[in-house]
A and B are shown apart, each in its own frame.
Chain A
């Protein structure tokens, strides 16, 4: 591994872009997390007509014209608009908003669970109610799960490599990991990577039916002793990844370096919490091996804890086993209590949180956390903490057995 590390191309984060329930700039996002503000509320977007209001992390007041001016956004559904908005913000921060300003093609690897479930389902219902000849052609074009990545590429002229990764709550981290390997392998020089997801009445209805959501009127508390489930969320968050030398040559800002990532799978598909924990633990250990680092180097963890009864427990067990004695010493947190579980977007949000921790040395607390579930060998707090963070880790565990880990370092640390 060490020999591999010495010769391989290095991948750095040179820009960020997000639209989230807690704002659309990295600064606003970080401030809200630091203050423990919640982005959740009763969401009409997530509520099926006539059902009780679903509490969710909506991108409140999302106004496409803020990001797109008077260009026609009709061909883009909400997921695509969120993705294209975040991509535009990241490209602007990088100084690469104009196609002419790019010396290398920029590509995109987008994590998403659904693309747009609402678009797919509405397309189908129109066929049922109006007849198959009256389905909407523009909606059919968006019914493919890679539509948000394709639409974002068209919108911003991203002629570089373009891909989409699914994987539920791990999709965003998996996309960043995949993009990293593509740059390391010389298949791309600059890739936007992260994820996007939208709220929809269909998601609100079906996750409610599955008994996975926090009870009406209660807020999800990741790792809380009395947690009952998670909230749904939405948004988009992307980082611009570039090969280090190329980024330096163009004088890009360096917000951090992607030094390690990995994924693993629980063949019980979440039915056995120990098996799920084992998958998460293997992903973390493999990410450390990829980085040539160990738990002793770690300054902070942004877990994927969401308030889910089973997944939070499995994630904590997996972290404890893979971090060994560092587990109880390294400050850990979870941001999905404030943002909701935004699936594809979640990994992007976690990556942005890691970058903020690297720059500020501040780890947000878990809002509302009174007593953590007993026996979790993690260092959790409901208050923000100062951390000595040169190396930070994000983890995620999906409902169906997917596990992912991502390790970033301060770019001056290398």
Chain B
């Protein structure tokens, strides 16, 4: 019998709220976090909406690291880590640092550092270009800064598998605990708002002009966002020994690869379905056991249609009745943070028997025959929650949270 791994703390830094309680309440209330982009000039872009976190003050959260010395994704991730440890009732100083590890996911690492470099290079200001870059840019700095902030000296993994990276990090952390490579893991994802990401998705014509409407017939695209979430994972026996009630149990994960196209998902949802099936098999569950699905649900015409096909492959006739919402309708697409935030949502859904809505939903799309929990949060029994994430490169990842029972 494999060790049981539970979630005992959650930290979220999002455009609708900072901290587990604030973010969760806002998501249940259906609050939109996207707004007009302010961090760079979008006057030459065809679109102007983004999911920036406008009220984030890193000084409020960081105790060791100096915010000015680290990139914004690191700030978001390290803040989420502090919030998660505090939520778990853990004093990091009281842990064995060598047995405490970190696994983080990201899409772009610290892209604002490349932007700074490029600004200088384009201005032909070579003398100013690139100073400090190598100590601020490499994406592994996010996991490093999380660990340095809380003093963790164990396993430290950075998994840049783009928009599925949060789920990959969760899977990595789960294995690190099952294999006894650590006794406590922080697992999550972080990405910051970036000109590079925004310009790229704008060029692909993937960004909605106003709001993100997953599964709606008139959806016009995704909205890039930023954020971070960190989950505290530990073996069940350890959590019980220190007298805390787990929020949820991590039951399994499934990873797969389309090997089909860099930016387009498999036309029949083949890889996505394989990831879901593997996650269920590992959890020892059947499709009919799933109470709630946190969708990838980006709001692009193609993603939502293919995701609907993929869930139909797995859930069959029942798929239109499986509640499946997308919080990207509220936060936009927070890239590598997205599936970490959504994993936190799944953990809270099984803990509280409530699921957040898909907002901005007006007109059903016959090509998306799903129950997207339109516009209003729902109170319902949630025994099993599945979290789906898909990424550039054909990286698919599903994770499963179940209600913790002794």
Contact = CB atoms under 8 A, between A and B. Distances in A.
Direct contact between the two chains A and B in their complex (CB within 8 A) = yes
Contact of B98 (A115, A153, A264): A264
Contacts of A63: none
B80 interface: no
Contact of A401 (B148, B262, B393): B148
Interface in A104-152: 107-108, 113-115, 117, 120-121, 123-125, 127-129, 131-133, 135, 137, 140-147, 149-151
Contacts of B201: 140
B37 interface: no
A121 B114 contact: yes
Given A123-B200, A127-B199, A146-B392, A163 B161 contact: yes
B26 interface: no
Contacts, number: 235
Contacts of B153: 264-267, 278-279, 282
B154 A146 contact: no
A140 B203 contact: yes
A205 B152 CA distance: 32
A370 interface: no
A263 B108 CA distance: 23
B109 A145 contact: yes
Interface stretch (A165-173, A331-339, A345-353): A165-173
Contacts of B175: 181-182, 185
Nearest to B121: A125
B138 A114 contact: yes
Contact of B135 (A166, A182, A210, A262): A210
By size class, the interface of chain A is 35 or more
A296 interface: no
A201 to B, nearest CB: 9
Contact of A132 (B44, B122, B135, B180): B44
Given A140-B200, A162-B255, A263 B262 contact: no
Given A120-B114, A151-B393, A162-B255, A174 B196 contact: no
B140 A113 contact: yes
Nearest to B262: A141
A269 interface: yes
Interface in B203-256: 203-204, 255-256
Contact of A146 (B131, B144, B271, B393): B393
B144 A401 contact: yes
A166 B203 contact: no
B118 A167 contact: no
Nearest to A120: B114
Given A162-B255, A185-B175, A267-B147, A144 B157 contact: no
B89 interface: no
A205 B125 CA distance: 13
A144 B108 contact: yes
Nearest to A400: B144
Interface in B91-115: 97-98, 101-102, 106-109, 111, 114-115
A205 B130 contact: yes
B158 A206 contact: no
B298 to A, nearest CB: 15
A328 interface: no
Interface in A76-117: 107-108, 113-115, 117
Interface in A21-70: 48, 50-51
A293 interface: no
Contacts of A149: 161, 393, 395
Contacts of B380: none
Contacts of A137: 200, 203-204
Contacts of A162: 161, 255-257, 259, 393-395
A210 B172 contact: no
Interface string A274-302: 00001100100010000000000000000
A150 B262 contact: yes
Given A160-B257, A263-B155, A153 B130 contact: no
B316 interface: no
A233 interface: no
Interface string B383-397: 000000001111100
Contact of B262 (A75, A117, A159, A167): A75
Q: Which 4 A-B pairs have the closest CB atoms?
A: A150-B393, A162-B257, A140-B200, A145-B160
Given A121-B121, A143-B196, 20 more contacts: A113-B138, A121-B117, A121-B118, A127-B199, A135-B200, A144-B160, A146-B161, A153-B394, A162-B394, A162-B395, A164-B159, A164-B160, A165-B158, A262-B155, A265-B102, A265-B152, A265-B153, A279-B153, A286-B181, A401-B144
11 contacts: A120-B114, A133-B203, A143-B108, A144-B392, A145-B106, A149-B395, A163-B255, A164-B159, A168-B138, A206-B117, A265-B144
Interface of B: 44-46, 97-98, 101-102, 106-109, 111, 114-115, 117-119, 121-122, 126, 129-135, 137-141, 144, 147-148, 151-162, 168, 172, 175, 178-181, 195-196, 199-204, 255-263, 271, 278, 391-395
